Amino acid sequence: MQKKLILFGTGKITEVVHYYATQECGYEIAAFTVDEKFKTADTFLDKPVIPFEKIEKDFPPAQYDMFIAIGYHDLNKLRADKCSQAISKGCNLVSIVSPNANLPKNVKHGNNCFIMPPSLIHPCVELGNNVFVCSGTLIGHHSKIENNCWFTSNSNIGGNNIIGENSFFAINSTTGHSVKIGKNCFLGANTLVTKELLEGQVVIAESSKPIKLNSAQFLRFSNFSSL
């Protein structure tokens, strides 16, 4: 029988996780929890908010599962730290994997993973612990994703990649085939990486510059309206 679930967090990411946990994965949420110094209300989404410092006393780990539903602060290190703290309290961390993501049967993943639909994860992929995969992400075959990574919507990981722990991939970032990304790397929006990145490297694509015409002038001088 599936245990009731406690979600760590009360932010926007938590709301997204809450939706998939309840609407697609069949979980019943028992409570939310945050560090006591960040507790600003007694309830969230009509459930109690309990200080994390005493969560195991009010909700015994033998009776409730937990998921750390916070973002990629400090390159996912904050979420990783909270996972470690929860495990040290005896909590069982589950993964929230939408059945509509249609994971191939031989895809492996660790605890506290979050996979939204419609992501496209090929067979023979291995995800570590605490990996978040947002909608539209492609992870190619035989890729290995190490712990605590974050893939924003429409990021693309080629086949046979090795992605180092705590790395972050922004929207529309792309890696080629058989690329190794070191840990703690940051790939910005619309970046393309085809060669190895060393630990801690950052890749950013220049933002598109606005043209001199304003929108009214552009419409008047272009064929856009006739398309």
Give the model confidence (pLDDT) of 7-46 as tens digits: 999 999 999 999 999 999 999 999 999 999 999 999 999 9
Confidence of residue 137 (pLDDT cuts 50, 70, 90): very high
Q: How far apart are CA 174 and CA 93, in angstroms?
A: 30
CB 156 within 8 A of CB 106: no
Residue-wise pLDDT for 54-74, tens only, equals 999 999 999 999 999 999 999
Is 4-94 assigned to CATH 3.40.50.20?
yes
Q: What is the pLDDT of residue 223?
A: 73
Give residues with Cβ within 8 angstroms of 28, minimum separation 6. 4, 5, 22
Domain parsing of the chain, residue ranges: 4-94, 98-203
pTM of the model: 0.93
pLDDT of residue 224: 65
pLDDT at 225: 62
Sole residue written with tokens 């995800």: 127
The DSSP output letter for 211 is: P
Q: Which of 178, 170, 171 is nearest to 202 (CA)?
A: 170
Look at domain 98-203 and name its CATH class: mainly beta
Residue 199's pLDDT band (cuts 50, 70, 90):
very high
pLDDT for 146 equals: 98
pLDDT at 95: 98
Which amino acid would we find at residue 51?
Answer: P
Structure-block tokens of residue 125: 């992929």
